[in-house]
Amino acid sequence: MSSLTIAIGCDHAGFPYKEGIIAYLESKGYAVIDHGTHGLDSVDYPDFVHPVASDVESQKAVFGVLICGSGNGVCMTANKHQGIRAALVWQEDIAALARQHNNANVICLPARFISLEDAIRCTDVFLHTQFEGGRHANRVNKMTQF
């Protein structure tokens, strides 16, 4: 069981996956902050991304989960936030590397290109993988230096 809080958000394409991922996370003991959307009607993904990113930045949530059709829109939007390292993930190895090497704190999932089962497995790997630090820490620190 976990006491971690996870913030989650999606657009209309990601809505069915959001519901499945929330059910999975809650069954594992995670607290979930659901920022919507709450249906299949067309919406603008930034309206749901910004609250998730803000929760992670402010440490109200330890990690964020974002879902849209391709995963790209939610990822690009989340990465506009200074304290966010959002990673587009479509397989378990990518989820692990996003955490191990990039210290990602938001996972972005492409609902139109992976199954719900794969999305849940990727999320699980993401949440259970630790940042390796070491040589990767220097690289991560350089992400915001330009």
75-134 pLDDT, tens digit per residue, is: 999 999 999 999 999 999 999 999 999 999 999 999 999 999 999 999 999 999 999 888
- Provide the whole-model pTM: 0.95
- Domains located in the chain, CATH noted: 5-142 (3.40.1400.10)
Helices 92-100 and 116-128, packing angle to 10 deg:
20
* Residues catalogued as catalytic: 68, 101
